[in-house]
Amino acid sequence: MSEPITNIPIPAILEINKGAIFQIEKILQKHGFQRVAVLFDDFTYEHYQPTVKTSTSQLKLEMIKMPSDLDIQALIAQAFDMEQYDVIVAIGGGSLIDYGKYIAYSRRVPFISFPTSASNDGFASSNCSLIVNNKKTTVPAKVPYGIIVDLDIIQQAPAKFILAGIGDLMSNITALYDWSFEEKNQSVTVNHFAAMLSKKAVNSFIRTPMEDIQQPIFIKELVSSLTMGGIATVISGNSSPISGSEHLISHALDKIAEVPAMHGIQVGIATYIMSNVQNHRAERMHKVFTRTGFFDYVKKAGLQKREFQQAVEYAPQIKPNRYTYLHEQKYRQQALEFIDSDPILQELLQ
Ligand SMILES: [Zn+2]
Protein backbone atom coordinates (compact mmCIF):
# COMPACT_ATOMS: atom_id res chain seq x y z
CA MET A 1 0.00 0.00 0.00
CA SER A 2 1.32 3.42 -0.84
CA GLU A 3 1.80 6.11 1.76
CA PRO A 4 -1.08 8.56 2.05
CA ILE A 5 -0.48 12.05 0.75
CA THR A 6 0.74 14.18 3.65
CA ASN A 7 -2.08 16.13 5.19
CA ILE A 8 -1.07 17.94 8.31
CA PRO A 9 -3.04 20.23 10.58
CA ILE A 10 -1.28 23.56 10.92
CA PRO A 11 -2.52 26.67 12.74
CA ALA A 12 -5.18 28.60 10.82
CA ILE A 13 -4.36 31.76 12.76
CA LEU A 14 -0.88 33.19 13.11
CA GLU A 15 -0.65 36.75 14.40
CA ILE A 16 2.67 37.95 15.77
CA ASN A 17 2.34 41.69 16.19
CA LYS A 18 2.57 44.64 18.52
CA GLY A 19 -0.79 45.29 20.18
CA ALA A 20 -2.27 41.91 19.14
CA ILE A 21 -4.23 41.76 22.41
CA PHE A 22 -6.53 44.48 21.06
CA GLN A 23 -7.28 42.37 17.98
CA ILE A 24 -8.66 39.31 19.76
CA GLU A 25 -12.33 40.00 19.08
CA LYS A 26 -11.72 40.79 15.43
CA ILE A 27 -9.74 37.58 14.97
CA LEU A 28 -12.34 35.43 16.73
CA GLN A 29 -15.16 36.93 14.66
CA LYS A 30 -13.26 36.47 11.43
CA HIS A 31 -13.05 32.75 12.19
CA GLY A 32 -16.71 32.50 13.15
CA PHE A 33 -16.27 31.80 16.86
CA GLN A 34 -19.08 32.91 19.14
CA ARG A 35 -18.95 30.99 22.37
CA VAL A 36 -15.49 31.68 23.66
CA ALA A 37 -13.71 30.76 26.89
CA VAL A 38 -10.62 32.77 27.71
CA LEU A 39 -8.34 31.26 30.32
CA PHE A 40 -5.90 33.30 32.41
CA ASP A 41 -3.35 32.53 35.11
CA ASP A 42 -3.09 34.70 38.25
CA PHE A 43 -0.70 37.15 36.65
CA THR A 44 -2.44 37.54 33.32
CA TYR A 45 -5.88 37.78 34.96
CA GLU A 46 -4.67 40.75 36.92
CA HIS A 47 -2.72 42.41 34.10
CA TYR A 48 -4.49 41.57 30.86
CA GLN A 49 -8.06 40.49 31.64
CA PRO A 50 -9.21 44.14 31.96
CA THR A 51 -7.70 44.92 28.55
CA VAL A 52 -9.37 41.94 26.92
CA LYS A 53 -12.64 42.89 28.55
CA THR A 54 -12.63 46.52 27.45
CA SER A 55 -11.44 45.71 23.93
CA THR A 56 -14.29 43.26 23.24
CA SER A 57 -17.74 44.72 22.77
CA GLN A 58 -19.66 42.30 20.55
CA LEU A 59 -18.65 38.81 21.57
CA LYS A 60 -19.45 37.53 25.03
CA LEU A 61 -16.26 36.01 26.32
CA GLU A 62 -16.23 33.83 29.40
CA MET A 63 -13.15 34.90 31.37
CA ILE A 64 -11.82 32.13 33.57
CA LYS A 65 -8.99 32.46 36.07
CA MET A 66 -7.37 29.03 36.32
CA PRO A 67 -5.95 27.73 39.57
CA SER A 68 -2.20 27.10 39.51
CA ASP A 69 -0.51 23.76 40.20
CA LEU A 70 -3.20 21.57 38.65
CA ASP A 71 -2.19 18.01 38.01
CA ILE A 72 -3.59 16.05 35.08
CA GLN A 73 -6.50 14.63 37.07
CA ALA A 74 -7.61 18.01 38.40
CA LEU A 75 -7.27 19.39 34.90
CA ILE A 76 -9.49 16.71 33.34
CA ALA A 77 -12.06 17.28 36.09
CA GLN A 78 -11.99 20.99 35.32
CA ALA A 79 -12.26 20.34 31.57
CA PHE A 80 -15.45 18.33 31.96
CA ASP A 81 -16.86 20.80 34.42
CA MET A 82 -16.80 23.50 31.78
CA GLU A 83 -19.59 24.29 29.35
CA GLN A 84 -19.20 23.59 25.65
CA TYR A 85 -17.42 26.41 23.83
CA ASP A 86 -16.57 27.00 20.17
CA VAL A 87 -12.98 27.74 21.07
CA ILE A 88 -10.69 28.01 24.06
CA VAL A 89 -8.15 30.80 24.21
CA ALA A 90 -5.34 30.65 26.79
CA ILE A 91 -3.56 33.90 27.67
CA GLY A 92 -0.61 33.24 29.94
CA GLY A 93 2.69 31.58 30.68
CA GLY A 94 3.80 28.07 29.73
CA SER A 95 1.74 26.15 32.30
CA LEU A 96 -1.46 28.01 31.49
CA ILE A 97 -0.95 27.41 27.76
CA ASP A 98 -0.53 23.70 28.51
CA TYR A 99 -3.72 23.67 30.62
CA GLY A 100 -5.65 25.33 27.82
CA LYS A 101 -4.22 23.02 25.18
CA TYR A 102 -5.12 19.96 27.17
CA ILE A 103 -8.63 21.14 28.09
CA ALA A 104 -9.36 21.97 24.45
CA TYR A 105 -7.95 18.60 23.40
CA SER A 106 -10.09 16.69 25.91
CA ARG A 107 -13.21 18.61 24.90
CA ARG A 108 -12.42 18.35 21.16
CA VAL A 109 -12.59 22.10 20.55
CA PRO A 110 -10.09 24.34 18.76
CA PHE A 111 -7.41 25.95 20.89
CA ILE A 112 -5.86 29.38 20.50
CA SER A 113 -2.53 29.88 22.16
CA PHE A 114 -1.73 33.42 23.39
CA PRO A 115 1.62 33.16 25.17
CA THR A 116 2.77 36.06 27.34
CA SER A 117 6.35 34.88 27.32
CA ALA A 118 8.57 33.23 24.71
CA SER A 119 10.27 30.93 27.20
CA ASN A 120 9.79 27.72 25.17
CA ASP A 121 8.15 26.33 22.05
CA GLY A 122 5.16 24.90 23.92
CA PHE A 123 2.78 27.56 22.60
CA ALA A 124 3.16 26.15 19.09
CA SER A 125 3.65 22.44 19.75
CA SER A 126 1.20 19.58 19.89
CA ASN A 127 2.40 18.25 23.25
CA CYS A 128 1.95 19.64 26.70
CA SER A 129 3.90 19.25 29.86
CA LEU A 130 1.63 18.29 32.76
CA ILE A 131 2.01 16.99 36.29
CA VAL A 132 1.39 13.24 36.31
CA ASN A 133 2.03 11.41 39.60
CA ASN A 134 3.80 14.50 40.97
CA LYS A 135 6.28 14.74 38.10
CA LYS A 136 6.34 16.90 34.98
CA THR A 137 5.48 14.63 32.06
CA THR A 138 5.08 15.20 28.34
CA VAL A 139 1.51 14.43 27.33
CA PRO A 140 0.24 14.37 23.73
CA ALA A 141 -2.45 16.86 22.68
CA LYS A 142 -3.11 18.73 19.44
CA VAL A 143 -1.37 21.54 17.64
CA PRO A 144 -3.08 24.90 18.32
CA TYR A 145 -5.72 26.09 15.87
CA GLY A 146 -4.32 29.55 16.32
CA ILE A 147 -1.28 31.34 17.71
CA ILE A 148 -1.51 34.98 18.71
CA VAL A 149 1.52 36.77 20.10
CA ASP A 150 1.57 40.37 21.27
CA LEU A 151 5.16 41.57 20.96
CA ASP A 152 4.53 44.41 23.44
CA ILE A 153 3.57 41.85 26.09
CA ILE A 154 6.53 39.53 25.44
CA GLN A 155 8.81 42.52 25.66
CA GLN A 156 7.51 43.40 29.14
CA ALA A 157 8.25 39.93 30.52
CA PRO A 158 11.54 39.60 32.43
CA ALA A 159 14.58 38.92 30.21
CA LYS A 160 15.04 35.43 31.66
CA PHE A 161 11.94 34.25 29.79
CA ILE A 162 13.40 35.40 26.48
CA LEU A 163 16.72 33.77 27.36
CA ALA A 164 14.91 30.51 28.08
CA GLY A 165 13.25 30.75 24.66
CA ILE A 166 16.69 31.17 23.10
CA GLY A 167 17.91 28.04 24.90
CA ASP A 168 14.93 26.05 23.67
CA LEU A 169 15.37 27.24 20.09
CA MET A 170 19.12 26.60 19.91
CA SER A 171 18.41 22.99 20.83
CA ASN A 172 17.05 22.44 17.31
CA ILE A 173 20.69 22.19 16.22
CA THR A 174 21.68 19.36 18.57
CA ALA A 175 18.29 17.68 18.19
CA LEU A 176 18.66 17.51 14.40
CA TYR A 177 22.17 16.10 14.73
CA ASP A 178 20.83 13.43 17.09
CA TRP A 179 18.08 12.64 14.63
CA SER A 180 20.55 11.92 11.79
CA PHE A 181 22.67 9.91 14.21
CA GLU A 182 19.58 7.91 15.10
CA GLU A 183 18.81 7.28 11.44
CA LYS A 184 22.33 5.91 10.93
CA ASN A 185 22.11 3.63 13.94
CA GLN A 186 18.51 2.55 14.08
CA SER A 187 15.59 2.01 11.79
CA VAL A 188 14.13 5.49 12.00
CA THR A 189 13.69 7.75 9.01
CA VAL A 190 14.37 11.44 9.27
CA ASN A 191 11.49 13.44 7.83
CA HIS A 192 13.46 15.83 5.70
CA PHE A 193 10.79 18.47 5.39
CA ALA A 194 10.39 18.65 9.16
CA ALA A 195 14.16 18.70 9.59
CA MET A 196 14.53 21.49 7.04
CA LEU A 197 11.91 23.62 8.76
CA SER A 198 13.51 23.19 12.15
CA LYS A 199 16.96 23.97 10.75
CA LYS A 200 15.82 27.02 8.81
CA ALA A 201 14.05 28.29 11.91
CA VAL A 202 17.16 28.27 14.06
CA ASN A 203 19.48 29.44 11.27
CA SER A 204 17.32 32.43 10.50
CA PHE A 205 17.28 33.31 14.20
CA ILE A 206 21.06 33.06 14.46
CA ARG A 207 21.46 35.75 11.81
CA THR A 208 19.36 38.27 13.79
CA PRO A 209 21.25 41.08 15.56
CA MET A 210 21.52 40.15 19.24
CA GLU A 211 22.63 43.36 20.93
CA ASP A 212 19.24 43.92 22.50
CA ILE A 213 17.11 40.85 23.10
CA GLN A 214 14.12 42.95 24.06
CA GLN A 215 13.90 44.63 20.66
CA PRO A 216 10.64 43.75 18.84
CA ILE A 217 12.60 42.53 15.78
CA PHE A 218 14.56 40.10 17.89
CA ILE A 219 11.48 38.87 19.75
CA LYS A 220 9.54 38.43 16.52
CA GLU A 221 12.35 36.38 15.05
CA LEU A 222 12.58 34.25 18.20
CA VAL A 223 8.81 33.68 18.38
CA SER A 224 8.49 32.88 14.65
CA SER A 225 11.39 30.44 14.83
CA LEU A 226 9.96 28.70 17.90
CA THR A 227 6.64 28.47 16.04
CA MET A 228 8.28 26.89 13.00
CA GLY A 229 9.97 24.35 15.26
CA GLY A 230 6.61 23.49 16.79
CA ILE A 231 5.09 22.99 13.34
CA ALA A 232 8.04 20.78 12.35
CA THR A 233 6.95 18.34 15.08
CA VAL A 234 3.47 18.17 13.60
CA ILE A 235 4.93 17.30 10.20
CA SER A 236 7.17 14.55 11.54
CA GLY A 237 4.58 13.30 13.99
CA ASN A 238 7.12 13.24 16.81
CA SER A 239 9.29 15.69 18.72
CA SER A 240 12.56 14.64 17.05
CA PRO A 241 13.05 17.82 14.94
CA ILE A 242 13.35 19.92 18.09
CA SER A 243 14.11 17.49 20.87
CA GLY A 244 17.14 15.23 21.16
CA SER A 245 19.73 14.35 23.78
CA GLU A 246 19.70 17.89 25.21
CA HIS A 247 15.99 17.57 25.99
CA LEU A 248 16.57 14.19 27.62
CA ILE A 249 18.99 15.92 30.01
CA SER A 250 16.38 18.56 30.80
CA HIS A 251 13.60 15.99 31.29
CA ALA A 252 15.92 14.02 33.57
CA LEU A 253 16.65 17.20 35.56
CA ASP A 254 12.89 17.74 35.98
CA LYS A 255 12.78 14.37 37.67
CA ILE A 256 15.93 14.50 39.79
CA ALA A 257 16.82 18.14 40.46
CA GLU A 258 16.00 19.52 43.87
CA VAL A 259 14.74 22.69 42.22
CA PRO A 260 14.39 22.31 38.44
CA ALA A 261 15.11 25.51 36.48
CA MET A 262 13.04 26.81 33.57
CA HIS A 263 12.81 24.33 30.71
CA GLY A 264 14.58 26.56 28.17
CA ILE A 265 17.39 27.39 30.59
CA GLN A 266 18.13 23.72 31.33
CA VAL A 267 17.81 22.87 27.65
CA GLY A 268 20.16 25.71 26.66
CA ILE A 269 22.95 24.48 28.94
CA ALA A 270 22.35 20.89 27.84
CA THR A 271 22.53 22.07 24.22
CA TYR A 272 25.88 23.70 24.87
CA ILE A 273 27.13 20.44 26.40
CA MET A 274 25.79 18.23 23.61
CA SER A 275 27.05 20.44 20.77
CA ASN A 276 30.53 19.92 22.23
CA VAL A 277 30.01 16.18 22.57
CA GLN A 278 28.67 15.97 19.01
CA ASN A 279 31.48 18.29 17.95
CA HIS A 280 28.99 20.17 15.81
CA ARG A 281 28.48 23.96 15.77
CA ALA A 282 29.74 24.30 19.33
CA GLU A 283 31.43 27.60 18.55
CA ARG A 284 28.16 29.05 17.26
CA MET A 285 26.44 27.93 20.44
CA HIS A 286 29.06 29.70 22.50
CA LYS A 287 28.66 32.91 20.51
CA VAL A 288 24.87 33.05 20.77
CA PHE A 289 24.80 32.22 24.48
CA THR A 290 27.47 34.83 25.20
CA ARG A 291 26.02 37.61 23.04
CA THR A 292 22.46 37.27 24.27
CA GLY A 293 23.45 37.23 27.94
CA PHE A 294 22.28 33.64 28.38
CA PHE A 295 25.52 32.57 30.08
CA ASP A 296 25.51 35.63 32.34
CA TYR A 297 22.03 34.77 33.52
CA VAL A 298 22.92 31.12 34.17
CA LYS A 299 25.84 32.21 36.39
CA LYS A 300 23.28 33.52 38.86
CA ALA A 301 20.67 30.81 38.40
CA GLY A 302 22.19 28.25 40.79
CA LEU A 303 22.21 25.24 38.46
CA GLN A 304 23.99 22.24 39.98
CA LYS A 305 26.88 20.52 38.27
CA ARG A 306 26.24 17.25 40.08
CA GLU A 307 22.62 17.23 38.93
CA PHE A 308 23.64 17.76 35.30
CA GLN A 309 25.97 14.79 35.59
CA GLN A 310 23.26 12.63 37.10
CA ALA A 311 20.90 13.79 34.35
CA VAL A 312 23.39 12.70 31.65
CA GLU A 313 23.53 9.21 33.18
CA TYR A 314 19.76 9.04 33.48
CA ALA A 315 19.02 10.54 30.04
CA PRO A 316 18.71 7.33 27.93
CA GLN A 317 16.11 5.94 30.34
CA ILE A 318 13.87 8.93 29.69
CA LYS A 319 13.29 7.69 26.15
CA PRO A 320 14.66 4.14 25.91
CA ASN A 321 13.28 3.71 22.39
CA ARG A 322 15.26 6.54 20.90
CA TYR A 323 18.90 6.45 19.90
CA THR A 324 20.62 9.76 20.56
CA TYR A 325 24.29 10.39 21.28
CA LEU A 326 23.53 9.89 24.96
CA HIS A 327 22.26 6.39 24.29
CA GLU A 328 25.90 5.37 23.77
CA GLN A 329 28.09 4.94 26.82
CA LYS A 330 31.07 6.49 25.02
CA TYR A 331 29.26 9.81 24.52
CA ARG A 332 27.75 9.83 28.00
CA GLN A 333 31.29 9.53 29.27
CA GLN A 334 32.38 12.44 27.05
CA ALA A 335 29.50 14.55 28.32
CA LEU A 336 30.42 13.82 31.95
CA GLU A 337 34.04 14.72 31.30
CA PHE A 338 33.05 17.90 29.49
CA ILE A 339 30.85 18.99 32.41
CA ASP A 340 33.78 18.36 34.70
CA SER A 341 36.44 20.13 32.67
CA ASP A 342 34.97 22.86 30.47
CA PRO A 343 36.11 26.21 31.89
CA ILE A 344 32.81 27.93 31.04
CA LEU A 345 30.70 25.32 32.80
CA GLN A 346 32.91 25.60 35.87
CA GLU A 347 31.84 29.23 36.04
CA LEU A 348 28.18 28.59 35.25
CA LEU A 349 27.37 25.57 37.39
CA GLN A 350 27.60 25.36 41.17
ZN1 LIG B 1 11.80 22.34 24.55
Q: How far apart are the first and last CA of the chain?
A: 56
In this prediction the pTM is: 0.93
Distance 122 CA to ligand 1 centre (A): 7
CA 170 to ligand 1 centroid distance, Å: 10
Instruction: Name every residue whose Cβ is closer than 8 Å to that of residue 77 and which is 6 or more positions away in sequence.
Output: none
Tell me, in angstroms, the distance from the centre of ligand 1 to residue 268's CA.
Answer: 9
pLDDT digits (tens, 9 = 90+) for 296-307: 999 999 999 999
Is pLDDT of 334 > 70? yes
121 C-alpha vs ligand 1 centroid, how far in Å? Answer: 6
Cα 143 to averaged position of ligand 1 atoms, centre (Å):
15
Q: What is the mean pLDDT of the chain?
A: 95
At residue 246, the pLDDT reads: 98
**Mean pLDDT along residues 105-122:** 95
264 close to 166: Cβ distance less than 8 angstroms: yes
Q: For the sheet containing 36-40, what is the strand order? A: 13-17, 146-150, 111-115, 87-92, 36-40, 61-65
Confidence of residue 186 (pLDDT cuts 50, 70, 90): confident
Give 153 Cα–ligand 1 centroid separation in angstroms: 21
| Model pLDDT, residue 215 | 92
